[in-house]
Structure formats: structure tokens, C-alpha cells
Amino acid sequence: MSTDANALSIIKPLAISNSSLITGGSPALTNVPENDHATWSSATTYAAGDRVILVSTHRIYESLQAGNLNKNPVTETLWWIEVGPTNRWALFDTSVSTQTVQADYIKYTLEPGRAINSLAVLNITEGTEIVITMTSPATGSPGIVYERTVDLTSLPLTSDWWAFFYGQRVAPSQSILLDLPSYTDCVITIEISGSANLAVGVLLIGQQQNFGIGISHGVRVGIQDYSRKETNEFGDTILVQRAFAKRANFDLMIKKAEVDSLQNTLSSIRAQPVLWVGSNAYESTTLFGFYKNFDILISYPEHSDCSLEIEGLT
């Protein structure tokens, strides 16, 4: 990754609301139902361990006590505990590991209400293909302004002939598109095909901001593993596998005119999850997370150096 590589892209996800997620239709415009559990009712008495959903918050709640009657899951924290997002909305939360799960085919239709130029699908499990279609009603019928098919076929880990025929294959776990056209009235349909275990961790759309003239050599990438090693009373060591988070350290050169803009942008997204794309050539330089530290060194009259330490979300 030399200094003439692609600029660093920062994409702040557009919040998806009830009004921007289009449901209904035949066939369904969004085909993942929100029926994980029964909807909470103030007239129902719940036992300890019973689970309900609230469509207003798109969250799942579990009853902590027996005789749970007319206790609002949002406000009555002694009676309810929040478990997580509903299946339909899991890919819109801030966690990569909470996935929307549906066998064979997942479809979402979004109406952002503003121009966007970037889309990302992250933490894909057993997917085979993604089809993205953007339409603009203002352009007439059918109004298609963008179509893209992404192949998620498994590929060999290495490029030799033996690996091609006999070696282990790994399927892409993410797809990032930074070339969507800008239409303020756009409607975006995302169709993901796969196996019976198809799942998606994150679906985000937004506007990219590009900085710098390329990520410099010396990028460091890795993971923070939250698994635990435990030893029981008999001396046996047991590994407890838990979630992990990607991390990266970027050094990039930026133009003089970008110094204040980059500082203001980073200040405005502190403690917020965004998508960072360091290089299209390395999937490991794409992270959904937040920066821990950044430094801008005004090194030269026309250029400055910036260091970024980024931690991904689990």
C-alpha cells in the first residue's frame, strides 16, 4: 500500500428508521419478518424467562420475574431485561456479531430520503450472491439507475493448482460498494442469496468522505480476541471461544487543505461506529468500528502526516 493508493474512506452509517425501511408488497419488499416472539401486551401475565418483542423499539425482552403483568419492558427494568435486537433489525444495530438469520434468501428495500453513494454488507455467513438495485422514481419507469451483482463464491486460500482442486476454500465475508450514484429520491433493494444457514451481521448505507493521498506502507492489522482460557479444579485447561474485534493502525499523508476538515470530521464521529476502508486490495483494512486515537503532524508546507488507531466492534 503505497502513497499513491486509494484515499482513506470514512462512511458514517445512515440511521435506518421505520420510514426508510420499506415493507409490504407481493412479493415482500423486505422479506425478513419481525415475529421472533409474541408482541408484549399489558393484559398478559408473563412468567420468568418469557420473551416478548416491542415493535416500537425493535428489541427483544425477557421477563425476570413471575407474575409479570402490565410492566413496560422499556421502563420496568426490575421486571424485564433487554436481550437484543429483533431478527429483522439485527443487521442495523452497532454490532457486527449480532446477525440477521434467514435461510436461502434475505431481501431488504430501503428509501434513505437523501443521496447516498456507499453500501456495505458485513459478516456474511454462507452467502453465495448479492444483488443491489437502485431506482429513482424521478427518472421514469422502471427507473433503474444502478445494478450490481456480487459473487460470493468460495475461493482457495492460495493460488497454486493443488489448492485450487483440493485445498481449503473460504467465501468472502463482506461486500463494500463505493460507486453508487447520488439520487435524493433513490430506493435501494439488497437481495442476498445463500444456504440454509445464511446470515448477515451489518447492512449499512451512507455517504463516504475521502481523505489523504493514500495509506502508507507499515499498516498494522490484527484482532483483539475476547476468548478466555480457563483451568478447572482438576488442572484441565479449557478454551472458551468468544467474540473478537478487528483493529488497525493507519498512517496516511494528507493535503494541507484537508487538515482542518479531517480533524473536524474525526471529532464529530468520536465514540461512534463508522466504516473505515483503508485499501480495496486488503479486506483486513476494512473495519466497522471507532477510532481510539489520532494524531496529525503538520510535516511539510503542503502535506501533513496522520496516524489513526482504529478498533472494530465485535
Does residue 1 carry a pLDDT above 70? Answer: no
**Whole-angstrom Cα distance, residue 108 to residue 88?**
9
Least confident of 1-15, 233-247, 296-310: 1-15
Does residue 163 carry a pLDDT above 80? Answer: no
| Per-residue confidence band for 6, with pLDDT thresholds at 50, 70 and 90 | low
pLDDT of the residue at 190: 98
**Whole-angstrom Cα distance, residue 12 to residue 9?**
10
Task: State pLDDT tens for residues 20-47.
Answer: 999 988 889 999 999 999 999 999 999 9
DSSP string covering 65-87: SSSEES--TTT-TTTEEEEEE-T
Neighbouring CB atoms inside 10 A of 191's CB total 16
Q: Locate cell 425476570: which residue?
A: 64
**Whole-angstrom Cα distance, residue 237 to residue 229?**
7
Neighbouring CB atoms inside 10 A of 32's CB total 21
User: In whole angstroms, how far apart are CA 300 and each of 128, 216, 293?
Assistant: 48, 16, 22
* Residue 140 backbone phi and psi in degrees, to 5: 100, -165
The 10 Å CB-count burial string (b at 16+, else e) for 108-143 is bbbebeeebbbbbbbbbeebbebebbbbbeeeeeee
Task: State pLDDT tens for residues 175-222.
Answer: 999 999 999 999 999 999 999 999 999 999 999 999 988 777 778 888
Beta strands in 38-142 (DSSP E): 45-46, 51-54, 59-63, 68-69, 80-85, 100-101, 105-110, 118-135
Domain boundaries defined on the chain: 8-28+91-312, 45-86
Does residue 4 carry a pLDDT above 60? Answer: no
Residue 228 CA to its chain's centroid (Å): 25
DSSP 8-state secondary structure symbol assigned to residue 259: H
Instruction: Reply yes or no on domain 45-86 having CATH 3.40.50.
Output: no
Residue 226 CA to its chain's centroid (Å): 19
| Per-residue confidence band for 2, with pLDDT thresholds at 50, 70 and 90 | very low
